[in-house]
Amino acid sequence: MHIASRIIQATPVAPGIAIGRVKLLHGSGFGNVPVTSIDASRVDSELIRFREALELTRKQIQDLRERLKAGLNEHEAGIFDAHLLLVEDRTMVAEIEHNISASLYGAEYAVHLAVEKFSAAFAAVPDEYLQERALDVRDVGARIISNLSEKVPAAPEYDEPRIVVASTLTPSETVAMPRERVLAFAVETGSATSHTAILARSLRIPAVVGMPREILESLTVADRLIVDGFSGKVIVNPDNATLDAYRLKSREAQKIYRQLSAENALKPMTTDGFVVELVANVDADDDYAAVRRAGAMGIGLFRTEFIFMNPGRLPDENEQFEIYKRLLISAGNDLVTIRTLDIGGDKLSSGILRSEERNPFLGLRGIRLCLRERRDIFVTQLRALLRAGVHGNLQIMIPMVSCMDEVLETKAIIADIQKSLTEENIPFAANLPLGVMIETPAAAMIAGALARQSAFFSIGTNDLIQYTLATDRSNERVGHLYRPGHPAVLRMIRETVRAARKNNIPVTVCGQTAEDMTMTPLLIGLGVNELSMSVGAMPLVRRTIRQLAMRECAALAERALECESSEQVLGLSREIIRRCVPELADM
Ligand code: PEP
Ligand code: MG
């Protein structure tokens, strides 16, 4: 029996509209594993069995990676680098082997125990991106266990193209699906930064997360869904009029996307000749081909914390040097902005931070942690960056700055490192530009002074909004107060831009607002001259910029600064979007 027609508001993570029947996926293949123990005489053969399964797992992941590289692009393939790193992770392998040789568990249960331990460590971190890594660990674990029992999980059967509905979806499951048979993803867990969302966006498969569990449990293969990846709406068993309306909307959206992607080589220039540079946010070290295809002019934000996500093992100087060098070489002459480690507080609680904090968002985070508690990590990272700098066009930026001392101290450390590298006869780039992220109201308010010590500014609106509005960005209970268009936020941006202009340094926005087209007229109207965003969002923002007039955006910004609320601000901005970019206004 079909469940009654109803509309669910989920969270959109990949744009597009899909209409079709349900394909239910259950679990991630990592269910209960029975406890098995072995006799001490079997330890050696059990270790061999485990190592063979591990090797097979490595090969399978490499194959998947190569397949993706051939068919898609480097970025998606890069997701499996994280899986390869896990297979090669000495701490995890040692833990599994210990479970076999010391605790005398059978290999399957030994893997299960280690995976539970490592994934729990990731899941406990109150940072969405790192929490998603728990899923990677489980995904790799499931694969090893399947290989141990010589039973590789089969790709689910698809009789017709369907909407995949699942509680969680791992990257392996996502790419193992026959692409032409998947209309959309509607998933319970995950976020816009989850790997599945990243994959969905690049495969151009609409996706939503946050599907209520009771709906997932009540759906059957006979139910029909509409998934609207623009608004996040999911309509269960729609009536005919709704179906017709969405079919039309879907056809139009597809047409627009085809046109938008054909514009990647066009200059992001307003109708009155103002060029807004578009650069990319990247989290993996090997996806420059995708960046270039999207028409980006470089990398505006490389978040290095993802290099540090292996529990129990920090990347050493050479490892980091190789990663940065590879990225710089692949980017050629394009400018690459690498951010120094931004963890601490909310982003990672164990391994790097030495103690728990009661108020971590206001605690030892980003540059604070690097300068005080973990200067060792900071020096290693800066040495690797300075050395890699000879291989391309690199600039470094520091996160979470709240006072001038932090910039001066960083410069002093860099000067010391340069001295040591010279003494050690190791080549390095001598004059790498050092930029400051404007993420705290304090930094925005002293932007004038900071600008005299900075080669550039990059406004991290994700944090600037949370600190300006005193609204925890990860707490959904105050989500209604997290408002990018708030006049207070706009004033922070204006102060920053003014200071940058006066001191002749460029200013970029690299937070999520850079890819929100409703914010585009406001940001460029305030004088921001570069936007850094995920490559998937770039075509939409490029088209928006190309149909706006700078004159009008500047007037909008002036009016917006005088508004009393973010509703008023966004109302004014939407008016311009509806008039200048009507074809995208509903996206
Ligand atoms: C930001 O705060 O806007 C930013 C880009 O940094 P992150 O999201 O990594 O904190
Ligand atoms: Mg930030």
Verify whether ligand 1 is closer than 6 Å to residue 345 (CB atom): no
| Per-residue confidence (pLDDT) for residue 284, from 0 to 100 | 62
| 75 catalytic residue (yes or no) | no
pLDDT at 481 over 70: yes
Q: How confident is the model at residue 154 (pLDDT cuts 50, 70, 90)?
A: very low
Query: Which of the residues 75, 83, 510, 580 is marked catalytic?
Result: 510
CA of 96 to the centre of ligand 1 (A): 35
pLDDT at 76 over 70: no
CA of 22 to the centre of ligand 2 (A): 38
Verify whether ligand 1 is closer than 6 Å to residue 223 (CB atom): no
Among residues 35, 30, 94, 84, the alpha carbon closest in space to that of 60 is found at 84
Verify whether ligand 1 is closer than 6 Å to residue 303 (CB atom): yes
Q: Ligand 1: which residue has its CA nearest to atom 6?
A: 460
When mean pLDDT is compared across 12-26, 395-409, 542-556, the lowest value belongs to 12-26
Q: What rounded mean pLDDT belongs to the chain?
A: 87
Which mutation among 128, 458, 462, 512 tests ligand 1's pocket best, with the greatest number of atoms within 8 A of CB? 462
CA of 121 to the centre of ligand 1 (A): 22
**pLDDT per residue as tens digits for the range 531-542:** 998 887 899 999
φ, ψ of residue 244 to 5 degrees: the values are -60, -45
Q: 464: how many CB neighbours lie within 10 A of its CB?
A: 26
CA of 30 to the centre of ligand 2 (A): 33
From residue 508, give the alpha-carbon distance in Å to each of 100, 210, 277, 339, 531: 52, 31, 9, 13, 5
Burial 467-497 (b: 16+ CB within 10 A, else e): bbbebbbeeeeeeeebbbbbbebbbbbbbbb
Alpha helices by DSSP H, listed for 262-316, are 288-293
Amino acid occupying residue 35: V
End-to-end alpha-carbon separation of the chain, Å? Answer: 34
pTM of the complete model beyond 0.75: no
Burial of 504 (0-12, 13-18, 19+ CB in 10 A): exposed
Verify whether ligand 1 is closer than 6 Å to residue 320 (CB atom): no
User: What span, in angstroms and rounded, lies between the C-alpha atoms of 510 and 341?
Assistant: 16
CA of 442 to the centre of ligand 2 (A): 14
pLDDT at 32 over 70: no
Amino acid occupying residue 229: G
Percent of the chain having pLDDT more than 90?
53
DSSP 345-362: TTS--SSS-SS--SSGGG
Which mutation among 191, 398, 437 tests ligand 1's pocket best, with the greatest number of atoms within 8 A of CB? 437
Which mutation among 125, 127, 281, 303 tests ligand 1's pocket best, with the greatest number of atoms within 8 A of CB? 303
Q: 248: how many CB neighbours lie within 10 A of its CB?
A: 11
Ligand nearest to the CA of 510: 1
From residue 586, give the alpha-carbon distance in Å to each of 65, 121, 177, 229, 257: 36, 40, 30, 12, 13
User: What average pLDDT does this structure show over 148-156?
Assistant: 56
Q: 104: how many CB neighbours lie within 10 A of its CB?
A: 16
**pLDDT per residue as tens digits for the range 182-226:** 999 999 876 664 566 766 775 778 999 888 888 888 888 888 999
| 553 catalytic residue (yes or no) | no
User: What average pLDDT does this structure show over 342-369?
Assistant: 78
User: Residue 546 contacts by C-beta under 8 Å, 6 or more apart in sequence?
Assistant: 263, 266, 267, 268, 269, 270, 271
| Residue 467, both tokens | 């600190």
User: What span, in angstroms and rounded, lies between the C-alpha atoms of 505 and 101?
Assistant: 59
pLDDT at 329 over 60: yes
User: What span, in angstroms and rounded, lies between the C-alpha atoms of 46 and 302?
Assistant: 42
What's the length of the chain? 587
pLDDT at 472 over 60: yes
φ, ψ of residue 264 to 5 degrees: the values are -60, -25
**pLDDT per residue as tens digits for the range 273-308:** 999 999 998 866 556 888 998 999 999 999 888 787
Query: Which of the residues 83, 112, 195, 486 is marked catalytic?
Result: 195
User: What span, in angstroms and rounded, lies between the C-alpha atoms of 194 and 201?
Assistant: 11
From residue 415, give the alpha-carbon distance in Å to each of 258, 383, 412, 421, 484: 50, 11, 5, 10, 37
